[in-house]
Structure 1
Amino acid sequence: MSNGGTVLAAGALVRRPGPSGPEVLLVHRPKYDDWSFPKGKLDEGEHVLAAARREVREETGLDVVLGRPLTTQRYQVSGRDKAVSYWAARPTGGQFVPTHEVDRCEWLPFDAARRRLTRPRDAALVGELAAGPGETVPLVVLRHAKPVARDEWAGAADDRPLDGRGRATADALVPLLAAYGIERLVTSDTVRTVDTIAPYAAAHSLPLEAHPLLSEEGFRNAGSAAVTELRALLDAPVPTAICTHKALLLPVVRALCALCPAAAPSQPLAAGGFWVLHAADGTVVAVETHEA
């Protein structure tokens, strides 16, 4: 897939514990006789998160969940700009089967991986992976999908459901939240926020936790206690998604990022958009932004 002439691709640095320290997975492509990371171009209309996981699965046979983002590589191929988005990742299952595209995979310690990799830019990514925390826990801050317009709804404001576009967005969020292995769902108790993450809850048999703090009135009434309650979510070792309202997005994420190295995002989210805060030991170390 391309975007304004730029070829878009995605991949991951898959990491696991090894007998002498952490190891990263490299792939060998016989067509080029090179060693690199699993990656590939986005299919038409494919989300970059879905593409990263698909490419790892196709080239290595492994299922993975994504961790913190790594530096996007930008270079030219055949005179065209190319951008490859990378994430740290961990394997959750699967087994390698050689193909015509990738005939070998090897788990190597970081130093050995740097030496084996064909391109210096890939070796630099191993250094970035090694320099950061080995494991991070994602906390997704999600704006609810598009609801029925206020002037088209005669019921109570909190009962306003998603419209057709919003329901499509809610369905599209299922593989995107799955990319981070989300296991806990916390939401405002309005119909539109619950319906936004209900498809993911159903697909993964997860309960929904309605939290008054995530409603505009609840957040306002909580006062300074709101920051304490939100920060507790960072200390939980469970990948979590919280769904709330447009007016609360920035206050919520600023409370979560307070005193953390990663700067809180400042741009507004579109309906169904989300930030991913990657935390290690209760500290946000990376933030990324996505639309469904």
Structure 2
Amino acid sequence: MSSTGEGPVLAAGTVVRRTGDEGPEVLLVHRPKYDDWSFPKGKAEPGEHALTTALRETAEETGLAVRLERPLPEQGYTVSGRPKVVRYWLATQLDGRFRPNSEVDEVAWLPLAAARDRLSWQRDAALLDDLAALPGETTALLLVRHAEAVPRDAWDGDDAMRPLTPAGRAQAAALVELLDAYAPTRVVSSDAVRALETVAPLAEDAGLVVEVDPLLSEEGWSAGPGAELLPAALVGDRRTVACSHQQVLPRLLEALCAASPVRPPQAVPPVGGVVALHLHEGRPVAVEEHAPGGC
């Protein structure tokens, strides 16, 4: 994701929510340069992923470290004759405190109705509309297709033992920052080496132990009752990363979304790609896709 070049200016931000005495409250920021009240956001740095932009800009403007939740409606408008696209996520504060800085001199936690009155831009009200339409908490289920592995025809041993290529190891390392944005609390993987190596850097970074579930493997899904057992095993109150394979992920997504208005992606994620399902009461209410290193 880059904000340079001839295309639109790309930016990202968050709507940070907390539970107040009278219901949900959201965090607004005041920018003295524009004398406006809005949500924390900012332009992407060259090559920066949108998730990283949202976290970085929120931290820079508010001093808060946050966890991203479900995506909110994207905004598109024109600034100085050039189109601008801003992606937003609902977010939860993890730690930190506000200190006035060069961009923001004041922040305010406000109930939704008061926030709507305080906002300077009508387009920001659409974010509150979306939040009000689905006020409940969600839990992220992050489905990862394993990173690039040594090709089957170049491997003489057991297929389950095929390792990642150097490019695949780089993809696995890049996934750490992307998936850390959701602060996962559980990592599950196929028993294939290429899947285990994909999530090993993330698990180490987060201090988690990788749970091995053979049903996430190609052989395990085909030989066992994967469609009946695996979706329920992945749905819960923990933010879960699950690493699987090209043949398994479409069927798993179809099973997870069967009783939901959310439709699964039509295309299989690329190697190292992520499909993030956001679950409310066990049912997907939002879905987003992230290519490795993409926007």
| TM-score normalised by the chain length of structure 1 | 0.96
Deviation at 1:261, TM superposition (A): 1.5
Q: Partner letter of residue 265 of structure 2?
A: P
| Aligned residue in 1 for 2:280 | 280
Q: Partner letter of residue 155 of structure 1?
A: G
1:216 pairs with one of 193, 218, 230: 218
Instruction: Output the aligned Cα RMSD.
Output: 1.2
Q: Partner letter of residue 226 of structure 1?
A: A
* Residue deviations 1:3-46 (CA, integer Å, cap 9, x gap): 75111100000000111111000000000000000000111111
Residues 90-169 of structure 1: pairs in structure 2 closer than 5 A: 90-169=92-171
CA contact under 8 A between 2:227 and 2:251: conserved in structure 1?
Answer: no
| Aligned residue in 2 for 1:238 | 238
Residues 1-292 of structure 1: pairs in structure 2 closer than 5 A: 1-2=2-3, 5-223=7-225, 226-234=227-235, 236-292=236-292
Compared with structure 1, are the counterparts of its residues 147 and 59 closer, same or farther at alpha carbon in structure 2 (3 Å cutoff)?
same
Which portions of structure 1, spanning 4 or more consecutive aligned residues, are displaced by more than 3 angstroms? none
CA contact under 8 A between 1:8 and 1:42: conserved in structure 2?
Answer: yes
Deviation at 1:152, TM superposition (A): 3.1
Deviation at 1:222, TM superposition (A): 2.1
Compared with structure 1, are the counterparts of its residues 218 and 230 closer, same or farther at alpha carbon in structure 2 (3 Å cutoff)?
same
Compared with structure 1, are the counterparts of its residues 134 and 4 closer, same or farther at alpha carbon in structure 2 (3 Å cutoff)?
farther
Q: Partner letter of residue 170 of structure 1?
A: A
SS of 1:106 mapped into structure 2: strand
* Residue deviations 1:179-218 (CA, integer Å, cap 9, x gap): 1111111110011000000000111111111111111121
Quote the Cα distance in structure 1 between the aligned partners of 2:273 and 2:187. 16
Deviation at 1:268, TM superposition (A): 1.9
Q: Partner letter of residue 230 of structure 2?
A: E
Q: Partner letter of residue 67 of structure 1?
A: E
Quote the Cα distance in structure 2 between the aligned partners of 1:135 and 1:43. 30
* Residue deviations 1:217-259 (CA, integer Å, cap 9, x gap): 2111223x5334313422x100001100111110011111111
SS of 2:247 mapped into structure 1: helix
CA contact under 8 A between 2:73 and 2:126: conserved in structure 1?
Answer: no
Q: Partner letter of residue 217 of structure 2?
A: S
CA contact under 8 A between 1:139 and 1:242: conserved in structure 2?
Answer: yes
* Residue deviations 1:113-140 (CA, integer Å, cap 9, x gap): 0000000010121121121133100001
Q: Partner letter of residue 7 of structure 2?
A: G
Quote the Cα distance in structure 2 between the aligned partners of 1:95 and 1:65. 15
Select between 124-133 and 84-93 the one with higher mean Cα deviation. 124-133
Select between 225-234 and 78-87 the one with higher mean Cα deviation. 225-234
CA contact under 8 A between 2:12 and 2:87: conserved in structure 1?
Answer: yes
Quote the Cα distance in structure 2 between the aligned partners of 1:103 and 1:48. 25
* Residue deviations 1:94-150 (CA, integer Å, cap 9, x gap): 010100110001100000000000000101211211211331000011100001223
Q: Percent identity?
A: 52
Gap regions ≥5 residues in structure 2: none
Quote the Cα distance in structure 2 between the aligned partners of 1:222 and 1:255. 15
CA contact under 8 A between 2:31 and 2:104: conserved in structure 1?
Answer: yes
SS of 1:134 mapped into structure 2: coil
Quote the Cα distance in structure 2 between the aligned partners of 1:207 and 1:226. 25
Aligned residues: 290
Q: Partner letter of residue 252 of structure 2?
A: V
Gap regions ≥5 residues in structure 1: none
SS of 2:88 mapped into structure 1: strand
